[in-house]
Amino acid sequence: MSVDQIALEDLRAQHRRDYDPYNNATIAEHLAEMAQRRREMPISYSARGNGTWVLTRYDDIASVLRRNNRGFVSNPNDPDGGNPQGAQKALIPIELDGDEHKFYRRLLDPLFSPQRVAALEDQLRAAANDFIDGFIERGECDFVEEFAMPFPGATVMHLMGWPLKDLGRLNEWTGTIQHGIVGVSKEESQAAQGRAATEMRAYLLDLIAERRTNLGDDVTSHVLRAEKDGAPLSDDDLFDLLLLLVLAGLDTVQSTFAQSFMHLGRQPELWDQMFASPESLEPAIEELLRIAAPAVPTRTVVHESVQVGELELPEGERVHFPLAAANRDPAYYPDPDRIVFDRAPKPHLAFGMGPHRCLGVHLARLELRIGFTELRRRMPRFSLDESRTPTEHLGLAWGVGNLHLLFEPGPRERS
């Protein structure tokens, strides 16, 4: 072992505290563990899998996010260095850096601008009401299955210009690819993930071939028209890009809705506070984003060494950080687990920061505003069905598998 290697092994040993991003804890239990780590060892080394440093403080996480291209790269965006989503090369743009990343952001940013997104408002409102129509007369629903999952899915389908009839399949593939199958062996779950990735790839490649001859003004058409180094994007690049757009657009919004409703069901006074005045909704959504932040990014050191907090991490070391941990750092958010809609405005990190800050931020905020508003209008009171325990998962995007709500049955009419 070289002197450097011995020093690194010492550093890892001094900060060793193993961590399983996929453990079976609930989100609240996992957050409690992150809080304890923050108090006792805010930067720790987990030897599990290929080994990763785990960050818990707002400042450490923000400083890493800001330094993409300057000390860190974002490929692989997975602590085990695997490729659970089945990308051909790298997920585009989230696992690219430097000029390649800039090329894709320049292509995509205008397609997700506030103006383009605002044009979707009527379509999204109609879609939200279609899903509410599906359960409102029953007085009960699985909120995840019947709203939180299909509504963002339909939004992505509209934006991409894909047939809405394929929504069910796409949601199922996305869920399996991201979270595997609950209640079966690890091998069975991984096999199901592989099958879902293969089927989704076949679907996206068919769609790319069909759409090349049938271009319009949707996101798919714009990326099919794009040229890189004088040639259209290859099928592999298009696949890695479309796959990421679907994964990023579905799971995150779904998780924010579902986690929010879990909290609102337990604290109904918050559901009223959100709508106390026309100005109440926006800050309430930001506070719910702070509390429910689902994403858990990973970065790798590419400079000789970089400073993270009080530690100097050498090239090749990987860092992994739940954004929800940054968002609950008491240094910035007093009583961090409490939902307080009029907190002093310290920007949360739910959408990340720096070069990879979420491309879909305007779309996500619009979906949340429309979704909450339409649900409030048509389901003004609800409670959690205490006889059914919600299922939750951790991983690279924390979320809720099902959430049963009870409410007064409402009319089918939309207004």
**265, 269, 272, 278 alpha-carbon torsion, rounded to 10°:** -120
Of 250, 296, 253, give the one whose Cα is nearest residue 394. Answer: 296
Tell the smallest beta-carbon distance from residue 241 to ligand HEM (Å): 8
- Near ligand HEM by CB under 6 A: residue from 31, 34, 253, 326: 253
Q: Which residue is nearest to ligand HEM (CB)?
A: 360
Q: What string marks each residue from 52 to 81 as x (binds ligand HEM by CB under 6 A) or -? A: ----------------------x--x----
**Footprint of ligand HEM on residues 14-33 (CB under 6 A)?**
none
Enumerate residues 83-122 that contact ligand HEM by CB under 6 A: 93-94, 105
Selected from 363, 379, 384, 394, the binder of ligand HEM by CB under 6 A is 363
How many Cβ atoms sit within 10 Å of the Cβ of residue 225? Answer: 12
What x-and-dash track marks residues 374-393 binding ligand HEM by CB under 6 A?
--------------------
Alpha-carbon distance 405 to 315, whole Å? 49
φ, ψ for residue 378, nearest 5 deg = -100, -15
Beta bridge partners of 263: none
The two structure tokens encoding residue 329: 């750092």
Q: Give the residue, chosen from 71, 84, 265, 352, that forms a contact with ligand HEM under the rule CB under 6 A.
A: 352
Q: Which of 63, 220, 252, 259 binds ligand HEM (CB under 6 A)?
A: 252
**In sequence order, what are the residues at sequence separation of 6 or more whose Cβ sits closer than 8 angstroms to the Cβ of residue 307?**
313
Give the residue, chosen from 107, 148, 248, 319, that forms a contact with ligand HEM under the rule CB under 6 A.
248
Point out which span in 225-233, 348-356, 388-396, 403-411 binds ligand HEM (CB under 6 A): 348-356
| The one-letter amino acid at 48 | R
Which DSSP symbol is given to 216?
-
Residue 196 in contact with ligand HEM, rule: CB under 6 A: no
- Candidates 251, 392, 294, 324; CA nearest to 55 is 324
Kindly state the smallest distance separating residue 156's Cβ from ligand HEM, in Å: 6
- Give 328's strand partners: none
Q: Toward ligand HEM, which CB reaches closer, 197 or 246?
A: 246
Residue 312, classed as helix, strand or coil, is strand
Residues in CB range of 132: below 8 A, 6 or more apart: 147, 374, 375, 378, 379
Among residues 54, 200, 288, 323, the one that binds ligand HEM under rule CB under 6 A: 323
Instruction: Give me the least distance between CB of 210 and ligand HEM, in Å please.
Output: 21
Give the separation between CA 207 and CA 246, rounded to whole angstroms. 14
If binding means CB under 6 A, how many residues of this protein chain bind ligand HEM? 26
Q: Which residues would be at the binding site for ligand HEM (CB under 6 A)?
A: 74, 77, 93-94, 105, 156, 244-245, 248-249, 252-253, 256, 294-295, 297, 323, 350-352, 356, 358-360, 363-364
